[in-house]
Structure 1
């Protein structure tokens, strides 16, 4: 009986010792980790480092995306659009160029008529001879440009119309000169009417046949 009681007391003592050891170890371990300054510093450092690394990456990415979206303009890099625009400007300027040229020539020829060297018929005929050279030269120049610009079928129609107009011009000038048949004004009147009709034809060809 005494041996059994000693054995039982020994077992109870061992049990309490084990119970005390098991109850303190989890809390003690956690508390020691929380209170360890080295562990706390390393945790805070890792948190700070990760924040500092992530923010610059996101900022750079957003900035690059916004810049690339704002500066991209596909039409500016399209060579066909640039060429088309250049071609349109060239064609558009052709008609404007000739209208400007014709208006300048009209001012020049009107000035010649209004300011002859003298009032003699001879001087007036010489002025009309100079005016004829100007307008007849411009008529041939414009006709040559249209031969290059117009489609073949349209050019054929213009060629036929031009033949008819030349007959009309010469006939009209002749009929006008007959009012002064036999007089000093006969040839002068013929030249004036001929030049006026040629001037009008130049404007007509540019305005009606030069599309651009």
Structure 2
């Protein structure tokens, strides 16, 4: 009996030790699990904050880049418009001279190809029309020069033009006197006026127009 009791005591002692060891192991496992969760949560929060910050920085960078691009585009567009506008004005100014030279050449060619009249009255009428045509063009050219020339330049040209008109009419009168009393006297007068007016048109465009 004593032996059996001793044996039972040993067994109970072993069982108690095992149970105690199991309880300690379970507590340690729970403690580790509880300690691990906050770390994981903390890590997630840190990563989450970092991710949000990175996303925000990326968005800010993209917005800044878009603003820079927009500003550059606007600046380039304005520069191009300014450049285009400046070039356009220059081309218009340069083309005025070419435009009128071309017009004068076409008018002169038209005079050369005009049907020749046979009677003195018809020829005189034709020369009067030619004179009126060139005189009208001369006035157009004079109007363009008013816009292009300075006040001082225009003042000089105005005086020069007055003197030219006198010289033209005097030259026409002198030419017509060669046929004084004849049927072609008035014809020569108007024909000379037309020719000198045509020459004056070319002169003003070549020397003054820009």
* Greater mean alpha carbon deviation, residues 91-100 or residues 133-142: 91-100
Shift of 1:42: 0.7
Conservation of the 8 A alpha-carbon contact between 2:124 and 2:187? yes
Conservation of the 8 A alpha-carbon contact between 2:96 and 2:209? no
CA 1:91 to 1:172, structure 2 compared with 1: closer, same or farther past 3 Å?
farther
Query: What's the TM-score once normalised by structure 1's chain length?
Result: 0.62
Q: Hey, what does 1:164 align to over in structure 2?
A: 163
Q: Hey, what does 1:65 align to over in structure 2?
A: 64
Query: What's the TM-score once normalised by structure 2's chain length?
Result: 0.63
Q: Hey, what does 1:39 align to over in structure 2?
A: 38
Provide the aligned C-alpha RMSD in A: 3.7
Conservation of the 8 A alpha-carbon contact between 2:120 and 2:183? yes
CA 1:92 to 1:164, structure 2 compared with 1: closer, same or farther past 3 Å?
farther
The secondary structure found in structure 2 opposite 1:36 is: helix
CA 1:134 to 1:148, structure 2 compared with 1: closer, same or farther past 3 Å?
same
Shift of 1:203: 3.1
Pairs aligned (count): 178
Does 1:209 pair with 2:208?
yes
Any unmatched runs of 5+ in structure 1?
1-28
Shift of 1:127: 1.8
Deviation readout 1:76-117 (Å, 9 max, x if unpaired): 569xx95x9868855863673475256335424532442326
Conservation of the 8 A alpha-carbon contact between 2:134 and 2:194? yes
Q: Hey, what does 2:121 align to over in structure 1?
A: 122
